[in-house]
């Protein structure tokens, strides 16, 4: 594990300065953010939230369809009442198709890969699609405020689309 | 959106101090972390990583089965070569069963919910199970170093299980 020694050293330093223990399990701000896994997006920093404040679900693209299990747990068991979708500029999801990636998996790993990768060709539309998916889902609490935005990896700025 | 004004004010401050633009899409440290969505876990802080360093996938419990789509994109398209699973103490996934949550969804939302929620009753075993799932998956690159650990929400300390 090439990064483990660095992670461990950093974590020891983090523990030495840690003062946020004892916070309750339900997020204090009652908010859930669904964001991309991209390395250039640190959602907590970009939103200015503290330990204990919000749930953060992340996956390739920040796609809502992949987050529904977590949304239900967050809303029904841990009391979150609003949802923010956060995609970003220069996203890898804009660069390939499911068929291409399935071909790469077949070639490199020898696996027959039926995964739908949920890539997209229009960044803002991908956010709108994910907001719409959540609003239409019977598993999301009716009336939940849901919005979505784009994080600019070059400036750090979040622009909400509605 | 009750938190949006606070998020916007914090983001404006973040943008004013932002100096990490222009980093490339592939994570510099070539690592992927799969962690829980819990509000008390900020993976980047706990691991001491910077903007651009690592992919972070998060969901309820930090379950690998929910992360496979993202793992493939991370490894095959963006060059990550090691995976860290990160669960944590006092996890909500220890507090309910799929049948109970399906009942709550039926009662509150009126929806017939077939979701498998991937809850667990043994925290360390849940980490081992997720490491094993990735090691056995035909969609994970053979030989990928994979480890897993537990983050202590009271101290900030990460303990790797192997």
pLDDT tens-digit series, residues A119-161 = 999 999 999 999 999 999 999 999 999 999 999 999 999 999 9
Residue A81 lies in a domain: yes
Contacts with A, B 50-69, CB within 8 Å: 51-60, 66-69
Cα–Cα distance measured from residue B146 to residue B143, given in angstroms and rounded to the nearest whole number: 9
Average pLDDT across chain A, whole number: 98
Residue B133 lies in a domain: yes
pTM score above 0.80: yes
Q: How far is CA B128 from CA A111, A134, B135, in A?
A: 24, 32, 10
Q: Is B130 annotated as a binding residue?
A: no
Over residues B10-33, the pLDDT tens digits come to 999 999 999 999 999 999 999 999
- pLDDT at res. B84: 98
Q: pLDDT at residue A33 above 90? A: yes
Beta carbons of B108 and A68 less than 8 Å apart: no
Residue A159, chain B, CB below 8 Å: the answer is: no
Domain that holds residue B70: 26-93+119-160
Beta carbons of A158 and B104 less than 8 Å apart: no
Using a CB-CB cut-off of 8 Å, the residues of chain B touching A120 are none
Contacts with A, B 118-147, CB within 8 Å: 118, 138-139, 141-142, 145, 147
- Interface test mutation site (partner A, options B34, B39, B72, max chain A beta carbons within 10 A): B39
Residue B98 lies in a domain: no
Task: For chain A, give the percent of residues with pLDDT over 70.
Answer: 100
- pLDDT at res. A145: 98
Q: pLDDT at residue B162 above 90? A: no
pLDDT band at A16 (very low <50, low <70, confident <90, very high): very high
Residue B20 lies in a domain: no
Residue B111 lies in a domain: no
- pLDDT at res. B37: 98
**Total domains, chain B:** 1
Over residues B44-74, the pLDDT tens digits come to 999 999 999 999 999 999 999 999 999 999 9
Name the residue of chain B whose CA is nearest to A2's CA: B82
Q: pLDDT at residue A162 above 90? A: no
Residue A145 lies in a domain: yes
Q: Is B38 annotated as a binding residue?
A: yes
Query: Which phi-psi region, left, alpha or beta, contains residue A59 (left: φ > 0; alpha: ψ -120 to 50)?
Result: beta
Q: Is A38 annotated as a binding residue?
A: yes
Residue A139 lies in a domain: yes
Q: Looking at CA atoms only, how far is residue A88 from chain B in angstroms?
A: 11
- pLDDT at res. B64: 98
Closest Cβ opposite residue A96 in set B20, B49, B77: B77
Residue A114 lies in a domain: no
Average pLDDT over residues B35-39: 98
Average pLDDT over residues A8-37: 98
Cα–Cα distance measured from residue A78 to residue B144, given in angstroms and rounded to the nearest whole number: 34
Cα–Cα distance measured from residue B44 to residue A151, given in angstroms and rounded to the nearest whole number: 17
Name the residue of chain A whose CA is nearest to B74's CA: A60
CATH number of the structural domain spanning residue A62: 3.40.1050.10
């Amino acid at each position: 594990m090439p990064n483990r020694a660095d992670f461990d050293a950093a974590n020891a330093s983090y523990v030495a300065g840690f003062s946020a223990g004892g916070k309750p399990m339900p997020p204090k701000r009652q908010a859930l953010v669904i964001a991309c896994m991209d390395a250039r997006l640190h959602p907590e920093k970009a939103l200015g939230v503290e330990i204990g404040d919000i749930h953060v679900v992340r996956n390739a693209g920040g796609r809502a369809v992949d987050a529904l299990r977590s949304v239900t747990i967050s809303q029904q068991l841990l009391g979150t009442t609003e949802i923010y979708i956060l995609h970003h500029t220069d996203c890898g999801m804009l660069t390939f198709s499911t068929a291409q990636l399935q071909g790469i998996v077949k070639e490199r790993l020898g696996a027959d890969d039926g995964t739908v990768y949920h890539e997209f060709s229009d960044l803002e539309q991908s956010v709108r699609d994910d907001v719409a998916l959540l609003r239409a889902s019977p598993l999301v609490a009716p009336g939940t405020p849901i919005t979505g935005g784009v994080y600019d990896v070059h400036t750090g700025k979040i622009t909400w689309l509605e």
